[in-house]
Amino acid sequence: MGILVLNDHFAEELRHRLICPVGHCKFFSHRLYNFKGKDDADPSLNSTHDAFLKTKCQSLSDSVTTVAMDPGIALSFDNDYFKTLKLNQGRSSLMLHFLTEKGPANIVDEVLDSGKFFTEFSQSLKRMGAIGHNRFQNKICPRLEEISRNITWSRVKENPALPAKLLRLHYHDCFVRGCDASILLDSTSNNTAEKDALPNRSISGYDVIDEIKARVEEDCPETVSCADIVALAARDAVSFQFRDPLWHVFTGRKDGRVSLASEAERDLPSAGANFTTLKQQFESNELDIVDLVALSGAHTIGVGHCRIIARRLFNFTGKGDADPSIDSDYANFLKTQCSNLSTAVDMDPGSSFSFDSHYYEALNQNKSLFASDAALLTDLGAASITKIFFTHPSFFFAQFARSMVKMGSIGVLTGENGEVRKNCHLVN
């Protein structure tokens, strides 16, 4: 796993320590008083620091008190956060988990050197800013976000299945050639485009992108890329449930001029992928294991087609058997639903229209639809993160937002490397 990939996560963690230099007791008091449900403390927490925190957070029910995230210097910009982490004085279970992983732990050791820390932090910030700034876009198309939100929310109100569709469209776009709207380009007599690749034939939501693009062109002709609209529509669709944006979408992307079905078939993670393959595919896009687990949480909404899971249910080892990793009752239920392989079933049983952390609860009950979901439990690190997201939904929402911002910056085209299409389905 590359150092820049992981350092981006550490830089983002430290940035949040500066933006929000204190933590609320309610988010970590379970580590002090009831870590394993036995009125115990988290054994990975430094005992002296544990005693200090208990003087600040005096009960599990304390939802008001705040404590400095970086003890003693919450308003100072330095690398003491990592020194604190190394001493097992970090509040976040998620970050302490990284000390059990060889790659991240080595990076923590490296950034204990102040010079190395400032170098890596500045490089990560440059990467985070690589796709432009909304102030620029606000000047040249001030109503862009309003137009996207209004159209998307109106369409989601009519069709509650739309958030999953637009989120999937954005994901499938970014994992092939980066977030360049190449998935929107139509095939020609000389080329089969991404949208006609086997993994993309069930993609939908193109009409929403077209509607937003048409309206934006009226306000700001030839100014806003289709790639930016895909990113905005995905965010706005998921955010409709909360009536508030769940993550920030940087704009300034350019549209690509190339779209190849062969690349989609090669680069998109499959529903049957094992953990090693998933990890490699995410790392190739500069996304780490935390991003992998968080972005998999998108499966809390939407449906999957029976034809994709047929082998897991009916012929896993070639002997007419089901995948033993699936809960037996859930497998039997799916078999009743999938007698016709064209049928679609909920990705997250009973919660397919609600964006929440229930996916991780179902996953840990062995009730995941895809083998690629179940694969997360085969890696100790990934499995522990799924449990954190299940037991602490606020951690999931925060990390999902960060991971979506990172995903939205994959392979972004700027300047002369791309264009702003007049029609999202055709190169200019």
Asked: is 135-267+413-417 a CATH 1.10.520.10 domain? The reply is yes
Helix (H, G, I), strand (E, B) or coil at 344: strand
pLDDT band at 117, cuts 50/70/90? low
Mean model confidence pLDDT for the chain: 83
Fold of 275-407: Peroxidase; domain 2 (1.10.420)
- Please tell me if the domain spanning 3-128 has the same topology as the one spanning 275-407: yes
Contacts of 295 (CB under 8 A, 6+ apart): 171, 287, 400, 403, 404, 407
Residues 355-370: what's their mean pLDDT? Answer: 95
- Per-residue confidence (pLDDT) for residue 39, from 0 to 100: 79
Pick out the residues of the known binding site: 173, 176, 178, 180, 182, 194, 269, 299-300, 348, 356
Question: Which residues pair with residue 66 across a beta bridge?
Answer: 24
Binding site for heme b: which residues? 299
In this prediction, residue 368 has a pLDDT band, given cuts at 50, 70 and 90, of very high
CATH architecture label of 3-128: Orthogonal Bundle (1.10)
Rounded to whole angstroms, how far apart are CA atoms 80 and 150? 44
Mean pLDDT over 5-13 rounds to 49
Task: Tell me how far apart the alpha carbons of residues 404 and 247 are, in angstroms, rounded to a whole number.
Answer: 7
Average pLDDT over residues 277-300: 95
Place of tokens 């490296």: 110
* Domain assignments of the chain as residue spans, ordered by start: 3-128, 135-267+413-417, 275-407
Question: How big is the CA angle at 324 (ends 320 and 329), to the nearest 5 degrees?
Answer: 90
Q: What are the residues facing 304 on neighbouring strands? A: 345
> What is the average per-residue pLDDT within 150-176?
97
Could you confirm whether 172 is annotated as catalytic? yes
Binding site as annotated, residues for substrate: 269
From 31-45, 270-284, 372-386, the region with the lowest mean pLDDT: 31-45
186-to-168, 183, 257 alpha-carbon distances in Å:
18, 8, 11
- Residue 372: what pLDDT? 96
Report how far apart, in Å, the C-alpha atoms of 234 and of each of 83, 148, 190, 245 are. Answer: 38, 10, 31, 11
Confidence of residue 47 (pLDDT cuts 50, 70, 90): confident
Under 8 Å between Cβ of 205 and 162: yes
Active-site annotation holder among 172, 305, 358, 392:
172
Q: What single-letter amino acid sits at 42?
A: D
Which residue ranges are tagged as binding site for Ca(2+)? 173, 176, 178, 180, 182, 194, 300, 348, 356
The residues, ordered by sequence, that sit 6+ positions from 342 with a Cβ below 8 Å of its Cβ are 305, 306, 307
